[in-house]
Amino acid sequence: VIDTAVMSGDELIEFAEGLARIASTGGGPKALAAHLAALLDSAVLVEDGEWRHVALTGAGGRSVPASSRDAIAAAGKDGDTPVVLETPGTGPSGIAVRIRGGDAAMGWLSVFPSTTSADGRVGAIRLTAAAIGVELSRDAGGGKNRRKSFWDRLIARAYDDPIEAKDDAAARGITLAAHYLAVAIEAEGLEESVATAKMGDLRRICLETLRSGSGDIAVLERGGGFVFLCPAPLEVDAANIRTAATLIPRTATKTHFGAKIVGGVGRAAEAVAAYRTVDEARESMFIARRLFGGSRVMPYDDLGIYPLLLRGGATSGELRSFSDRILAPLRAYDEKHQTELIRTLRLYFEVGQNVKTAAAELSVHRHTVFYRLRQIAEISGHDLDSAHDQLTLRTAMAIDALNPHER
Partner 1 sequence: MLSTHTNGKPPNKREVLRLVKEHDVRYIRLSFVDILGISKNVMIPANELERALDGKVTFDGGSIDGFVRGEEADMMLLPDLSTFAVYPWTAGGHQEARLICNIATPDGEPFEGDPRTTLERALDDASDVLTGTSTALEVEFYLFDVDADGVPTTGSSDSGSYFDINESDRGETARMEIVTALESMGIQVASAHHEHGAGQHEIDVKEMGLLEAADALITIRTVAKHIAVRHGLHATFMPKPSEDLAGSGVHIYFTLPSVATEAAAELHDGELAEDTLFAIGGLLEHAPAFTAICNPTVNSYKRLVAAWDAPIYTVWSHRSANSLVRVPSPENGRSRIEVRSADPSCNPYLAMAVLVASLAHGQRGHVLPGDPLTGSTYDLNDRERERRRIRTLPKSLRQALLELDRDLVVRGALGDHIYHAFRDAKFAEYERYRRAVHPWERDAYLRVY
Kindly tell me which of 43 and 205 has the beta carbon lying closer to partner 1.
205
Q: What is the CA radius of gyration of the chain?
A: 29
**Which residues fall within 8 angstroms of residue 289, CB to CB, at 6 or more apart?**
188, 262
Residue 250 as a binder of partner 1 (CB under 8 A): the answer is yes
Minimum Å distance from CB 169 to partner 1?
24
Closest to 407 measured CA to CA, from 339, 340, 318, 335: 335
Quick one: which of 244, 285, 341, 373 contacts partner 1 (CB under 8 A)?
A: 244
CB-CB contact of 124 with 12 (8 Å): yes
Minimum Å distance from CB 268 to partner 1?
11
Continuous segment of H or E residues that includes residue 106: strand 104-113
Kindly tell me which of 295 and 392 has the beta carbon lying closer to partner 1.
295
Question: According to CB under 8 A, which residues from 254 to 283 bind partner 1?
Answer: 254
Quick one: which of 235, 290, 311, 405 contacts partner 1 (CB under 8 A)?
A: 235
DSSP β-bridge partners for residue 57: 44
Query: How far apart are alpha carbons 36 and 124 in whole angstroms?
Result: 7
Quick one: which of 234, 291, 328, 402 contacts partner 1 (CB under 8 A)?
A: 234
Residue 333 as a binder of partner 1 (CB under 8 A): the answer is yes
Kindly tell me which of 209 and 395 has the beta carbon lying closer to partner 1.
209
Kindly tell me which of 63 and 251 has the beta carbon lying closer to partner 1.
251
Minimum Å distance from CB 154 to partner 1?
25
Query: How far apart are alpha carbons 65 and 74 in whole angstroms?
Result: 15
The CA-based angle 249-203-193, given to 5 degrees, is 90
Minimum Å distance from CB 339 to partner 1?
12
Which range binds partner 1 by CB under 8 A, 120-128, 220-228, 231-239, 348-356? Answer: 231-239
Query: How far apart are alpha carbons 386 and 365 in whole angstroms?
Result: 24
Kindly tell me which of 49 and 249 has the beta carbon lying closer to partner 1.
249
Quick one: which of 295, 323, 392, 395 contacts partner 1 (CB under 8 A)?
A: 295
Minimum Å distance from CB 253 to partner 1?
6
Query: How far apart are alpha carbons 299 and 392 in whole angstroms?
Result: 14
Quick one: which of 325, 378, 401, 405 contacts partner 1 (CB under 8 A)?
A: 378
Q: Helix, strand, or coil here: 372? A: helix
Kindly tell me which of 91 and 293 has the beta carbon lying closer to partner 1.
293
Query: How far apart are alpha carbons 331 and 341 in whole angstroms?
Result: 8
Question: According to CB under 8 A, which residues from 312 to 331 bind partner 1?
Answer: 329
Question: How many DSSP H helices and E strands does the chain contain?
Answer: 15, 11
Question: According to CB under 8 A, which residues from 169 to 228 bind partner 1?
Answer: 209, 211
Q: List phi, psi (to 5°) of 177.
A: -80, 165
Residue 379 as a binder of partner 1 (CB under 8 A): the answer is yes
Closest to 405 measured CA to CA, from 304, 320, 314, 319: 320
Q: Helix, strand, or coil here: 181? A: strand
Kindly tell me which of 95 and 288 has the beta carbon lying closer to partner 1.
288
**Site size toward partner 1, by CB under 8 A:** 25
Kindly tell me which of 220 and 247 has the beta carbon lying closer to partner 1.
247
Angle between helices 387-402 and 341-350 (to 10 degrees): 110
Q: Which residues bind partner 1 (CB under 8 A)?
A: 209, 211, 234-237, 239-240, 243-244, 246-247, 249-251, 253-254, 295-296, 329, 333, 378-379, 383, 386
